Amino acid sequence: MSSPNRRRLPADSPAERERKEGRKLKKTYQENDGDDEELASPLTRQSNRLQPTSHRRTSVALPAVTSHPPKLCLATWRPCTVPPCETHACPDVPVPLLPSILILMPSLLPFPACPSQAQRQREGTYEMMSLRALVLVGLTAILCTLATAENGDDVHHLPKFTSLVAKENRQILALSESGKITAIDVHDGYGDAYHLQFITMEPGSIFLPVLLRTDMAFYVHTGRGRVTFISQGGDEEEMDIVRGDVYRLEQGTTFYVKSHPDPARERLRIHAIFDTSEIDCYSALVGAYSNVSDLVRGFDDGVLQMGFGVSAETVRDIKSAPTPPPIVLSSGRNETEEPNWKKEIIGALFGVRGTSDFLSKKKKMSGSKAFNFFKAKPDVQNANGWSTALTHKDLKALKGSHFAPFMVNLMRGSMMGPHWNPRATEVAIVIEGRGVVQLICPSDASGKKIRAAARCQNTRFEVKKGDVFVVPRFHPMAQISYNNETLAFVGFSSSTKNNHPQFLTGKRSVLRTIGVDVLAAAFNVNSSVVEGFLASRDESIMRPCTSCAEEMKAKMKREEEEKRKREEEEEEEEWEREEEARKKKEEAAARKEKEEDERKREEEEEEKEERRWEEEEERKREEEWKEGRKEE
């Protein structure tokens, strides 16, 4: 029953027609018993606004497509079944527009279902603007998708590849009177990165216990010492190390190092490499290992007290002590004098209950298990030098590792022949002498640089003691020593699985397995030239190369000088262009100022002329007025 005070609307008014349409729509939903309840949702009501209606006789221009998808409701993306009202019509929507329409749908909500003609007229402009925006966003999304698909390899921006890291560029991680730790990070340009640390310990010092977060391979450069490491199972092992030793410690191992109190005061120097690919979200803040004391001190006092069964005073002593540097001087006391809580902490960290259990699992090695480059027989040796490469067959600790240590020692005026690694990246550290390394970048069948190494260039660079150089896989290389110096470097290949270096010279040269005619076609020369090129019967891969390094160094200097001159010329040309542009700008400003002054003068003259003309006209009018007065 309507209220007696309610004003009755005219039957033909827009508001009354809208109210009747709403009642009719509500009745239709009630008869359908909620089956079409979704038709009344805000999304569907919004879709009604986007449909062309018979009242406005408007049409939406959509891009032509070859396929004909089923009729779709713009809001719900379901095949249309029952139109929500007489003004609804489901148009054919091209598939490429669906993502863009979905993007803009949230900004178009909510609106009433089946709007009246007056409302549709008021919203017509907004409706067409929305559809144009949908088409524009859809086309933009398609173009971005195509660009991404075409340049997919360029989406992941790899860091700029650097083949040489000089010793001076190492970062200092720790420095004290007991020792020093420096580090560098290198990568191969293909996404694999490696962290290197150079640990220097004074005689009689200790590298404090750390927990490895990744595999570590190390080489003993100088000095003597002892490595104590504890596996994840809780077994403790000791290994004496000397110059030339190489070993690998697995991820999850806890270890510490003691340098020998050598009266000759020779420092213990260890070169270590860490595989950062095994560290989740590796960064300089996380590091390759964690200090064991920090792991213990991080717990609350109550946890440590109850976990280790010690007094609160002991826990306070542990946590209140200042944090020492990674390398400290040895106190000189033996293990029996060490406090019992140390064993309890180590046992708790590795799941060993009680001191007796810990001691029962303790196992000391009687001899060294490390591999020594200087004591083993080289793989290749002649008058020009020797080289040795390790696998897990030579050192059991390498089983399952991604590292394969190697060492190359070149005599004066010698060369390691051109070769490449098909499955491994080489990270090498120069341990003695100086030399030159030449690196060649690979290319595809068209002769263009491959995409992953697009920023790589054929290069040659000088290396000295302490420098680190990186050679990615499939990059041919050659190492050459000077006439007056030897060149020795130790390194680690990134893979130990089926990596057989491919040589261009010597008895294993890949060129000798290819037919002469094929090589002649490949080099675009006559067969006789190829035969002469391969005529040498020298089968060694380490060959004499007198003055080769000196000539390459001289060439590098010439190239650097030419590059410097080009840069100076470019700077000079740039300066001249800037100077010319500055002069033109000044001339233009002066010309503009002159034109402005002339314009002002002309305006002033025009104003003066106009004032004179006005004064003359005024004078004439006065004279005429006076003449008229006289005649009167």
d(CA 174, CA 182): 7
Tens digits of per-residue pLDDT, 421-468? 887 889 999 999 999 999 888 765 555 554 444 456 788 999 999 999
How far is Cα of residue 233 from the mean position of the Cα atoms in its chain? 36
Burial class of residue 245 (count of CB atoms within 10 Å of its CB; 0-12, 13-18, 19+): buried
Contacts 24+ apart (CB under 8 A), 19-22: 21/85, 21/114, 21/116
pLDDT given at position 497: 64
Mean pLDDT of 521-529: 85
Tens digits of per-residue pLDDT, 75-121? 434 444 444 443 344 444 444 444 444 444 444 444 444 455 555 55
Global pTM reads 0.63
One DSSP character per residue, 527-571 reads HHHHHHHT------SEEE-TTHHHHHHHHHHHHHHHHHHHHHHHH
Mean pLDDT of 493-508: 73
Tens digits of per-residue pLDDT, 158-183? 556 788 999 999 999 999 999 999 99
- State the CB neighbour count (10 A cutoff) for residue 452: 18
pLDDT given at position 143: 63
Q: Length of the chain, please?
A: 632
Average pLDDT of every residue of the chain = 75
DSSP 8-state assignment for residue 443: B
Strand partners, 477: 419, 439
Ramachandran quadrant class, 93 (left: phi over 0; alpha: psi -120 to 50; beta: rest)? beta
Strand partners, 479: 416, 437
CA dihedral (206, 211, 213, 215) positive or negative: positive
pLDDT given at position 19: 66
Tens digits of per-residue pLDDT, 29-72? 455 444 444 444 444 444 444 444 444 444 444 444 444 444 44
Residue 129 has pLDDT above 90, yes or no: no
- What are the chain's domains? 14-148 (no CATH), 164-361 (2.60.120.10), 382-549 (2.60.120.10)
Rg (CA), the chain: 42
Residue 485 has pLDDT above 60, yes or no: yes
d(CA 616, CA 620): 6
